[in-house]
Structure 1
Amino acid sequence: MTALPRPRVDTRASAQTRADAPTRADAHVPQPRRARFDWADVPLHWIPGDAHSTHVINSLHLFLPAGERWFVKVMKQALPLVTDDLLHDQVRAFMSQEGIHATAHGTAAAHLRAHGLDHAGYDRRLEVVFDRLLGDHRLPGRRMQRAWLDVRLAIIAAIEHYTAVLGDWILRADALDEAGADPVMLDLLRWHGAEEVEHRSVAFDLYQHLNGSWALRASVAQVVFPVLLALMLDGTRVLMGEDADAPRFRPIGGYVAGMDKGRLPKLLWLAMQGPRYVRPGYHPSLEGDMQRALDYIARSPSHIRAL
């Protein structure tokens, strides 16, 4: 196979000082890319002998598509308000990437259903969260409607902080390779994680462009991590309850066991991402390794297969 050219990064944003970062967009424009996955030979317990870590990560296949489709819906409402040409292009590319991610994880969720794991009740709870609680509401006046849009953009920016740091984590998670994790599943996670690093700044810069209130950003961030953790634990509980070959669900002990083996991110490390995000001088261009992310995408088997 002919080697793909090594993608290069516009380093203007990463070379900024910390003082400059909040006032300037990351100049990189993400590139929407297709990927194709073959689940035929992927086992249900794709981390051999570790059903708990497997299903913690499998829970992402359930709630990420719902969240990503919601991202796109909200950003479609925000896009006409963007007056910066570069940011406009970045937001459009972000929306395309998120739509593709939702489809890819949807195929993984179908793979779980094919193994007999019924998660319809969990899907209905996600619908309540994203379509009802966080959906469009009839609010009095344009000011209230705009305020609700700004709140949702702040939520997306906070979630994208976590997806960027987790994307960088999965690219470095050698313990999963050492455990014999299935390469197709790992490729889905790393291809997606790499694109999360690639578009790490877009949602934040959109929020800053249209509102920029530090108080709102900090307030919203306080609830995002607990909600994401609750969704992950609920999804894990459902999947393990449906899996006849899985041990009893242990929300703390099971996670800690996988964490200690390097197969799951450390909870304390994840919890500390919130205080980092709410620093007044924070900017996502400081997160992750852009070149590492683009290098992985260039060699991703699923992406190469879809070319």
Structure 2
Amino acid sequence: MPKVTKKTLNCRGRLLDLAQPAVMGILNITPDSFFTGSRVSLDETLLRAGQMLTDGATFLDVGGYSTRPGAADVSPAQEADRVIPVIESILANFPDALVSIDTFRASVARQAVEAGACVINDVSGGTLDPAMFDTVGELARSGMGVPYVLMHMRGTPQTMQSMTTYQQLVVDVIDELASQLARLRTRGATDIILDPGFGFAKTPAQNFELLNSLNSFHIFDEPLLIGLSRKTTVWKTLNIKPEEALNGTTVLNTAALLKGASILRVHDVREAVEAVKLTQKIILFD
């Protein structure tokens, strides 16, 4: 089992220890998420958020822009209109909730933080909005405590599946993450979480290769966020539908945990929390 250095995140003044992996519940405020079970209307949001917190979610990840392959574009204003009321509503009803904003746009990220979000989850790793790293750096220097998820992706949600050619997959992904990480650190960012970007400019076969090589990403000594929940890699491999992919998701989440994942981003919180508890028992004996 991997020996991962303990990592503490400052989430708006609250210190979060990731020595035991955390679970991030997905709240998609979009009409076209690839998994229909994750599409949440404003009326349903509080019920879903409350259940996720009851089931053991550490974070609630709110997104208003579908990043499924070929997803339609939406304007920053429309994205903000979707997510800001949700963030405000969640925190009004669950003041202790740790809300993450799933966006690659600096303006939406800033508005979300102003509304109370404490993590920025950027699927583009700073490649789609040149203002994102400056915004993250400014927040870091202010001492507000807003960790940033730096994910690996090529292209855009509309083009990424045509950009899956690598010389050496794992080496290339690490190099590209390292380049963005270096840029981000020059802005003064400190609390950084890395995401290899499963499904983003990667084929299912490449996703399995990345998962098998997850230990290689500990070279960064940063916590790893893993997002495999109900993705194509699961349901196409098993020849099933996304709605039937919970068991397969749990299998891959377990593999990720055994290779040192610090955060699981999932649609199904209770099952992920159970996977964390059980794998922690295994790791104790290593």
* Larger RCO (CA under 8 A, 6+ residues apart): 1
Q: Could you say which structure has the larger radius of gyration? A: 1
- Bigger strand fraction: 2
Q: TM-score range by the shorter chain?
A: under 0.3
- Bigger helix fraction: 1
- Report the TM-score, using the length of structure 2 for normalisation: 0.27
